[in-house]
Structure 1
């Protein structure tokens, strides 16, 4: 008898564009949120949309020469997915991307990710308590099936990151340059820099990584500096195969090492935050000594003056490098501190009329960090655009949830979640746990045939924002003598968190439901909970090295005493 259904059949009741959760971005934030859904039993009914061609977010997008992380490799990894195979103390872009790709494979995230896909807008549907997100297919082949479609989800998570959309400088004549121009985040490796006259605008962390790399290959390099940066030693070195084996086979040593890195970075918080702390003065002295050591003598006196900042350390991102200063001693490198007047067809003209003729102009000018969610359009309750909510400056409760944006959360890209002293992954993990606690309530209601909408109370968000802004105004971030990507155009610090990591982890390890407006047919089940909490990820040192050593000595003494007792007992029996 023939099969009545000779071809596989499709259950059209299960819509491919319907999900419990839609996650925007397949970087560290989006991946961690998805992984925590799996780990915490929130299911696998999620979709991740990624405009790039691979996971990794900024570590897939940025591939400029010398691209690396300024956080130690063993601290720049997920706590539950340690990597014993890091080859250097500070990881490079390729090694970080390899790590993230391996994590995506382990948790089988690729089956949930739609690459070459961008989000145009997301709208909250009041009638169904769901998000309707308009998606654009960017790939030429995919777009043949249809350029746009809608994904419906009960919860929307944004993990697009703060270092996402390149920022181009507003300089007269920038479009007239006839040579090659490229942003550092969109590096063109097909362009041969050898024997080229190169100019680079910007001297932040990215430029400090690029400059030493290209100076060795190009004919000449002119660095256009607006404001000097504080620079401290990096002291990077390879991790030997022996130590990699130890980290692999002796997990205690690996976790102990990570804890020591966490401790040190947490202690660095006072450096970048409290301008009156002794450690702040110490770090400024360390940076000055670093400059004097790497550019010594009278012949470099003018260079040292040009490279010496005159604002509080921490106001801008502190640069960690050992090869930036020495590059300026090269004969083919020039530091230009005169303000740029305009960009011409042939190069860059500075005030006073001097023109630097260039073959290549590199724009190491950062990202649109204060334009959160850009260019995605988000419309919440009653069609309210998020730009309207943020017209006086972006803010969010704990950097994650926004009034009038039900069932919506952000991770690292959220306002006031950036760090100036520690690994951002520590913050991302705390956020992913918090967001998954919200997701659980929405999913539970749906499974019961109900719905629930959850959004923070406006008064709660305002009180929280007033609290952290009061602290931030007293920090090095607020120093009026420098401009940084931590501040918006009005000078409001919208990017940085106001304390160290551990206080944030503690604060985000519980949800007080009375801080939220909760409605929908399943609202009462959530309201009656009062509070939901969970164990935070503890990575700082809980037991000192001295206590561990004492414990080992005590244990060794007990073992020795036991052996002596057993030997004495054997002798007594024999006699």
Structure 2
């Protein structure tokens, strides 16, 4: 980037997390484009693991924040992305200029940063705008009378103040999360959640070496996880499915096993709605934490906050105090999930504001492109969230699709022409009507619960209605007949008709069985491990078999198995 294109880029990406980095990497790999800017309002990276940059070095099945951050930093350095980042830079608004066929993006830099000293705010022109801000971005604060005047410390779980010492403090926790170090914690629960085992465990150095040096093992493990996660879609499709009954049974079993002497808590912690209607909690220690002597589970509705006291609904409509001396108020109340672009103001064709486009609820074609918003794509947009599998493969599919849209725009730019692509309203409406029909028949739509998947009108704006593989197949081809094509470079889209962008295939495929032969001394600890790859049943589902010292491997055996000796 030089002076001439500091404020004039082919592509601008809003957000530098998992989605924004994925989009940038695909720009490099698929469009050979380096003329892009990543605008990130915070001072660093964030996110998790990609299919194309698998990591054999995770130390746990569920690694912590530090490991994930280190992984992302390595990926950013490997693909030389840091030179494209503008940290401490926030997008205020963006407007489509019909004459120039470009987006005019207004940004401001964080007060006190070096950038703010010489340009606190400025404008960037771009041919294509990508939103990678995600659904879980802006914290949602509860609307409780008096919360602004709480006397003690107040924080949101998504904006934690690590300088505050919670030890020996009396904590009021609004929402279903728990603080582990405190004198006393009151958890204010509006509705309980279904909780299933997490089965977290360390990944041994032996297995990390196997992932790194034995070809195919890590891919097979990922395939096993993918197959299992996709199979759990059944609890979304129907509350009467075998998967729903299995998960419900496991949740109740874990509750009674971990809190055997607390029938009072058992009654409060069993949901009265279908499994899947709200986000399922995956945890090994959630129930035991609530059973600690210094923890109180409060299910009476909060009425107000007065000084250091939290008032709740008592008997006969009276208001009583849950406790009068809280030091810390923690709001674990999620995010503004249905306001996908908040607080960014977006103005498309004829100054049409995105808030007006979405006045009846956010919707997008394939969850990616929006009515009256030319050359604009979203990652993790409306109706692309999941309740059963990893969102990463959804994001990767969307990134491929957006890059397919960008290809003719970049070709037109190289020739000094302009091209804009806007989804046809009839195609968007047709797609959304079918999607909402499917969602109305899913467990997401259980009227007995209110979740962050729905807006205030009860419309499910956040979730996808089918499996990941079905979504991937739907967006593996960009059909330009689905779009209104405009500009002097219109021929770039017309001569292509479609662009095949393909998909990531992580599910198991037919092929030879993998057999890893270990010496007998090493075989037993591997078989007994709690980690997924150490479980022989999970291994078999992935097409991997652990064998100790095969006496002889004949040609007939080799015809059906891939034999790898690991010593």
User: How far apart in 2 are the matches of 1:309 and 1:165?
Assistant: 27
- 2:334 is equivalent to residue 371 of structure 1: no
User: How far apart in 2 are the matches of 1:526 and 1:11?
Assistant: 30
Residue of structure 2 aligned with 1:116, choices 61, 75, 88: 88
Q: 1:390 Cα shift?
A: 0.6
Give the aligned partner of residue 434 of structure 1: 401
Give the aligned partner of residue 70 of structure 1: none
Shift in alpha-carbon separation, 1:448–1:478, aligned structure 2, 3 A:
same
Give the aligned partner of residue 235 of structure 1: 199
Q: 1:355 Cα shift?
A: 3.2
Give the aligned partner of residue 51 of structure 1: 41
- 2:452 is equivalent to residue 485 of structure 1: yes
Q: Is the partner of 1:144 in helix, strand or coil?
A: helix
User: How far apart in 1 are the matches of 2:505 and 2:268?
Assistant: 43
Matches within 5 A, 1:48-447: 48-56=38-46, 59=47, 77-140=49-112, 141-203=114-176, 207=177, 211=178, 214-215=179-180, 217-297=181-261, 300-352=262-314, 353-357=320-324, 358-412=326-380, 414-447=381-414
Q: Is the 8 A contact 2:411 2:492 kept in 1?
A: no
User: How far apart in 2 are the matches of 1:124 and 1:251?
Assistant: 49
Q: Looking at CA atoms only, which structure, 1 or 2, has the larger radius of gyration? A: 1
Q: Is the 8 A contact 1:451 1:520 kept in 2?
A: yes
Q: Is the 8 A contact 1:155 1:439 kept in 2?
A: yes
Give the aligned partner of residue 517 of structure 2: none
Q: 1:544 Cα shift?
A: 6.4
Paired residues in the alignment total 520
Q: Is the 8 A contact 2:364 2:428 kept in 1?
A: yes
Superposed structure 1 runs of 4+ greater than 4 Å apart: 544-550, 559-562
1:355-382 CA-partner distances (Å, limit 9, x unpaired): 3121111000100000110000000011
User: How far apart in 2 are the matches of 1:195 and 1:226?
Assistant: 26
User: How far apart in 1 are the matches of 2:344 and 2:174?
Assistant: 28
1:143-200 CA-partner distances (Å, limit 9, x unpaired): 1102110000000000011111000000011012101110011111111111110110
Q: Is the 8 A contact 1:42 1:436 kept in 2?
A: no
Q: 1:286 Cα shift?
A: 1.2
1:505-554 CA-partner distances (Å, limit 9, x unpaired): 1111001111110011111331232222132111100026759689x99x
Q: Is the 8 A contact 2:111 2:120 kept in 1?
A: no
User: How far apart in 2 are the matches of 1:560 and 1:543?
Assistant: 17
Q: 1:139 Cα shift?
A: 4.0
User: How far apart in 1 are the matches of 2:271 and 2:264?
Assistant: 13
User: How far apart in 2 are the matches of 1:483 and 1:561?
Assistant: 55
Which blocks of at least 5 consecutive residues in structure 2 are unaligned?
Answer: 315-319, 515-542, 560-567
Which blocks of at least 5 consecutive residues in structure 1 are unaligned?
Answer: 1-9, 60-75, 563-575
User: How far apart in 2 are the matches of 1:291 and 1:372?
Assistant: 35
- 2:555 is equivalent to residue 558 of structure 1: yes
Q: 1:94 Cα shift?
A: 1.7
Residue of structure 2 aligned with 1:467, choices 434, 438, 443: 434
Shift in alpha-carbon separation, 1:488–1:232, aligned structure 2, 3 A:
same
Q: Is the partner of 1:149 in helix, strand or coil?
A: strand
